[in-house]
Chains A and B, each alone.
Chain A
Amino acid sequence: MTHPNEQFDAIVVGSGISGGWAAKELCENGLKTLVLERGRMVKHIDDYPTANLDPWDLEFKGRQTVEEQKKQVKQSRTGYTTDAVSAHWFVDDIVHPYNEVKRFDWIRGYHVGGRSIMWGRQTYRWSEFDFEANKNDGIAVDWPVRYKDIAPWYDKVEEFIGVSGEALGLDVLPDGVFSPPMELNCAERDLREKIENTYDDGRVLTIGRVAHLTGEKTHEGRSNCVYRNRCVRGCPFGGYFSSISSTLPAAERTGNMTLRPNSIVHEVIYDPQTQKATGVRVIDADTGEKMVFEAKVIFLCASSIATAGILLQSKSDRFPNGMGNDSGEVGHNIMDHHFKAGAFADVEGFEDQYFKGRRPNGIYIPRFRNIGGVTDQPNFKRGYGYQGGASRGRYEELVAELGYGQDLKTAVSEPGKWSMLLMGFGECLPYHENKMELNYDKTDQWGLPTITFDAEWKENEYEMRKDMVQQAMDMLEKAGYSNIRPWDEPGAPGLGIHEMGTARMGHDPETSVCNGNNQLHAVPNVYCTDGSFMTSASCVNPSLTYMAFTARAAAHAVAQLKNEA
Chain B
Amino acid sequence: MDRRQALRNIGWGSGALVATPTILSLLQSCNQNPGFSPVFLSQGQGHALKMMVDLMLPSDPEVPGAVAMGVHKFMDLYWNDVLVSAEDLPALEDEFTKVPAGGQQKSVRNGFTALETVFQSQFGEELASGESEEFRTLLSQYLKAPKETQEAYSSEMWAYQMALKEDPNATASSEAMTYGLLTGIRGLAIWAWKRMEFIGEDVLWYDPVPGVYDGCIPISEAGNGKVMSL
Contact = CB atoms under 8 A, between A and B. Distances in A.
Partners in one complex: yes
Interface of A: 52, 54-56, 60-61, 63-66, 69-70, 73-74, 76-77, 100, 103, 182-186, 188-189, 226-228, 351-359, 392-393, 395, 399-400, 403-406, 408-409, 412-416, 492
B58 A405 contact: yes
A554 B78 CA distance: 51
A428 B156 CA distance: 38
B196 interface: yes
A207 B76 CA distance: 42
B96 interface: yes
B210 A358 contact: yes
Nearest to A360: B213
Contacts of A403: 139-140, 143-144
Contacts of B230: 54-55, 228, 358
Given A55-B200, A228-B210, A415 B223 contact: yes
Contacts of A404: 55-57, 139, 143-144, 186
Given A355-B213, A358-B228, 16 more contacts: A54-B208, A54-B230, A63-B82, A64-B82, A66-B92, A183-B213, A184-B216, A226-B211, A354-B217, A357-B207, A357-B213, A408-B56, A409-B56, A409-B63, A413-B204, A413-B226
Interface size class of B (residues with CB under 8 A): 35 or more
Contacts, number: 169
B78 A63 contact: yes
Contact of A356 (B139, B201, B212): B212
A408 B215 CA distance: 27
Contacts of A357: 207, 210-214
A70 B191 CA distance: 24
A248 to B, nearest CB: 26
9 contacts: A55-B195, A55-B200, A61-B191, A64-B82, A65-B82, A77-B96, A227-B213, A358-B228, A408-B190
Nearest to A409: B57
B60 interface: yes
A412 B190 contact: yes
B222 A65 contact: no
A408 B55 CA distance: 10
Contacts of B211: 226-227, 357
A226 B227 CA distance: 19
A221 B187 CA distance: 43
A493 to B, nearest CB: 12
B65 interface: yes
Contacts of B216: 183-186, 189, 353, 355
A13 B188 CA distance: 45
Contacts of B192: 61
B223 A354 contact: yes
A356 B204 CA distance: 14
A356 B91 contact: no
A402 to B, nearest CB: 9
A185 B215 CA distance: 4
B92 A359 contact: no
A415 B227 contact: yes
B65 A415 contact: no
Nearest to B207: A356
Central interface residue in B94, B223, B227, by most chain A CB within 10 Å? B227
A347 B202 CA distance: 29
A387 B139 CA distance: 40
B194 interface: yes
A188 B91 CA distance: 43
Contact of A353 (B81, B85, B96, B217): B217
A60 B186 contact: no
Contacts of A70: 88, 91-92
Given A54-B208, A186-B215, A413-B227, A405 B222 contact: no
Nearest to B57: A409
Interface string B172-199: 0000000000000011001111111100
A399 B93 CA distance: 33
Nearest to B223: A354
Contacts of A392: 227
Contacts of A227: 210-213
Central interface residue in A64, A228, A354, A359, by most chain B CB within 10 Å? A354
A23 to B, nearest CB: 31
A353 B219 contact: yes
Central interface residue in A103, A393, A406, by most chain B CB within 10 Å? A406
Given A60-B78, A66-B92, A405-B55, A356 B222 contact: yes
A226 B212 CA distance: 6
Contacts of A55: 195, 200, 230
B95 interface: yes
A408 B213 contact: no
A352 B97 contact: no
A228 B97 CA distance: 32
Interface in B127-143: 139-140, 143
B94 A73 contact: yes
A356 B210 CA distance: 7
A56 B85 CA distance: 25
A105 to B, nearest CB: 9
B219 A415 contact: yes
A414 B139 contact: no
Given A73-B94, A226-B210, A409-B65, A355 B227 contact: no
B221 interface: yes
Contacts of B210: 226-228, 356-358
Contacts of A356: 207, 210, 212-214, 217, 221-222
B31 interface: no
